[in-house]
Amino acid sequence: ASSRSPRSVTILGSTGSVGTSTIDLIRRNPGAYVVEALTANSDWQQLARQAIELDARTVAIGDPAAYAPLKEALAGRNIGVAAGPEALVEAAAAKSDWVMAAIVGAAGLAPTLAAIRRGAIVALANKEVLVCAGDLVMQEVARSGATLLPVDSEHNAIFQVFDFERTEAIEKIILTASGGPFRTLDRAEMAKKTPAQAVAHPNWKMGAKISVDSATMMNKGLELIEAKHLFRMPQEKIEIVVHPQSVIHSLVAYIDGSVLAQLGSPDMRTPIAYTLAWPDRMASPSPRLDLAQIATLTFEAPDPERFPALRLVREALEAGGSAPTVLNAANEVAVHAFLNEEVGFLDIAEIVERTMAAIPVGPIDTLDDVHNFDKQARDTAAKLAASYARSAV
Ligand code: NAD
Ligand code: MG
């Protein structure tokens, strides 16, 4: 236990996989944290339960239709209730020491930026924020003096072994990838896979979108862009290696030949605990590594032929400007269509590729640029998805 006074925390996306793991850690440390704000998209029942249990000061829900039942569920309690996208931004902007950014997708950009702009400690799980607006977000971090702590297990691993004082001594960073549930399949086998099969990840239990991203390996591609911004590394110095056991969470290679890694069981409560207690350490109930039991760790090169998302991400970084923003938005639409059984598994990367080809690359200088390219990409990808849906009938 630490002797410091309780840390006040805000959880954006408290009802999701990362959000509930964060709450699990808070619950295990009574007295160490006070909850300022919790937010969710539409699950007002769970949000109300969490707010009551944690005695939150305010809650905000994205879906305006959920306002009335949420307000009703919290009637007679001293908990502020608000709804709509602006309410999420206000919740993020309200004073607290620490913010978990665990909304999924570009929808998390505005609230995450609000937390960054007030100089909070921001634990970032919401990788799409850096994919769609990385340069602008990192500028805001520099300007505000906010502390950005990576929650994504790979980036959290790198953060723990990355010598920020001697970056010239870093040769490259190596992101490990589990390879997802379809790691060993050929394209013909992947073509037949259903949403239920795609979200059944062998090692991690996560939200639906990131699970599909793991199956296409777009997740590793998004993480490559995330790493580029967090660690200011050119893409040539970021390598991806497939490591199916998910025990080594990532590595940093130095010019003297040393390679430093962080290891642990695949349980998000370890990287979340790292950020929640930072700069201290706190206990986490994650299963302990038993290396003798694991016995073998294996590695293989990624295959961009079977997983074209890896190629698309490298191309988007090569093109620069709006290309990563477009890739991210198209991927969100395509994954959504796949989860709704409107398009097939292989169509996801194809929709992303065709959307990227259809939208000329332009500069991203402002948040308006981000929103414009994001919207263009969503419109284009939605039209493509609808045409695939028709041809499937
Ligand atoms: P999830 O789907 O389980 O939860 C998402 C949360 O965001 C929910 O609370 C939901 O209510 C909220 N939300 C969704 N859409 C929203 C919208 N439009 N507006 C406001 N709120 C919205 O997702 P997750 O698995 O917890 O992932 C969250 C983020 O963390 C993602 O960016 C993901 O890539 C990243 N991440 C997750 C894991 C993991 O193990 N789950 C690991 C690494 C990184
Ligand atoms: Mg990850």
DSSP structure string for 327-383: HHHHHHHHHHHHHTTSS-TTHHHHHHHHHHHHS------SHHHHHHHHHHHHHHHHH
Q: Is residue 296 situated within a structural domain?
A: no
**Ligand 1 centroid to 107 CA: how many Å?**
10
**Ligand 2 centroid to 152 CA: how many Å?**
5
**Ligand 2 centroid to 252 CA: how many Å?**
16
- With a 6 Å cutoff on the Cβ, whether 156 touches ligand 1 is no
Instruction: Identify the bridge partners of residue 300 per DSSP, sorted by sequence position.
Output: 242
Q: Is residue 274 situated within a structural domain?
A: no
Higher pLDDT, 388 or 44: 44
pLDDT digits (tens, 9 = 90+) for 282-308: 999 999 999 999 999 999 999 999 999
Q: Which residues contact 166 (CB under 8 A, 6 or more apart)?
A: none
Mean pLDDT of 346-369: 98
Query: What is the pLDDT, as a whole number, of residue 204?
Result: 82
Q: Is residue 182 situated within a structural domain?
A: no
Q: Is residue 225 situated within a structural domain?
A: no
- With a 6 Å cutoff on the Cβ, whether 206 touches ligand 1 is yes
Q: Is residue 305 situated within a structural domain?
A: no
Q: Which residues of 277-308 are buried (b: 16+ CB within 10 A; e: fewer)?
A: bbeeebebebeeeeeeeeeeeeeeebebebbb
Instruction: Say which amino acid occupies 47.
Output: L
- With a 6 Å cutoff on the Cβ, whether 41 touches ligand 1 is yes
The rounded distance, in Å, linking the Cα atoms of 228 and 212 is 22
- With a 6 Å cutoff on the Cβ, whether 154 touches ligand 1 is no
Q: Is residue 196 situated within a structural domain?
A: no
pLDDT digits (tens, 9 = 90+) for 180-236: 999 999 999 999 999 999 999 888 889 999 999 999 999 999 999 999 999 999 999
**Ligand 1 centroid to 359 CA: how many Å?**
27
Q: Is residue 321 situated within a structural domain?
A: no
- With a 6 Å cutoff on the Cβ, whether 103 touches ligand 1 is yes
- With a 6 Å cutoff on the Cβ, whether 328 touches ligand 1 is no
- Closest residue (by CA) to atom 43 of ligand 1? 152
DSSP structure string for 58-103: EEEES-GGGHHHHHHHTTTSS-EEEESHHHHHHHHHS--SEEEE--
Q: Is the pLDDT of residue 95 over 60?
A: yes
- Angle at CA of residue 100, ends 85 and 15, nearest 5°: 65
- Angle at CA of residue 337, ends 319 and 132, nearest 5°: 30
Q: Which residues contact 74 (CB under 8 A, 6 or more apart)?
A: 48, 51, 52, 59, 81
**Ligand 2 centroid to 87 CA: how many Å?**
28
CATH number at residue 113: 3.40.50.720
Q: Are 372 and 141 in contact (CB under 8 A)?
A: no
The rounded distance, in Å, linking the Cα atoms of 159 and 250 is 10
- With a 6 Å cutoff on the Cβ, whether 123 touches ligand 1 is no
State the pLDDT confidence band at 1, using cuts at 50, 70 and 90: very low
> Could you tell me the residue range of the domain that residue 27 belongs to?
7-150
Asked if residue 331 belongs to a known ligand binding site, the reply is no
Q: Is the pLDDT of residue 391 over 80?
A: no
- With a 6 Å cutoff on the Cβ, whether 128 touches ligand 1 is yes
CA atoms within 13 A on the CB side of 324: 27
* Cα–Cα separations (whole angstroms), residue 94 to 85, 141, 181: 15, 17, 40
Of all ligands present, the nearest one to the C-alpha of 155 is 2
The rounded distance, in Å, linking the Cα atoms of 354 and 123 is 33
Of all ligands present, the nearest one to the C-alpha of 87 is 1
Q: Are 48 and 59 in contact (CB under 8 A)?
A: yes
Q: Is residue 249 situated within a structural domain?
A: no
The structural domain count of the chain equals: 1
The rounded distance, in Å, linking the Cα atoms of 4 and 58 is 24
- pTM summary value: 0.98
Strand order in the sheet with 248-254: 238-242, 170-177, 248-254, 259-263
Q: Dihedral through CA 93, CA 100, CA 220, CA 163, nearest 10?
A: 100
Asked if residue 53 belongs to a known ligand binding site, the reply is no
What is the percent of the chain where pLDDT is above 90?
96
Q: Which residues contact 76 (CB under 8 A, 6 or more apart)?
A: none
**Ligand 2 centroid to 154 CA: how many Å?**
5
What is the percent of the chain where pLDDT is above 70?
99
The rounded distance, in Å, linking the Cα atoms of 362 and 368 is 12
Asked if residue 16 belongs to a known ligand binding site, the reply is yes
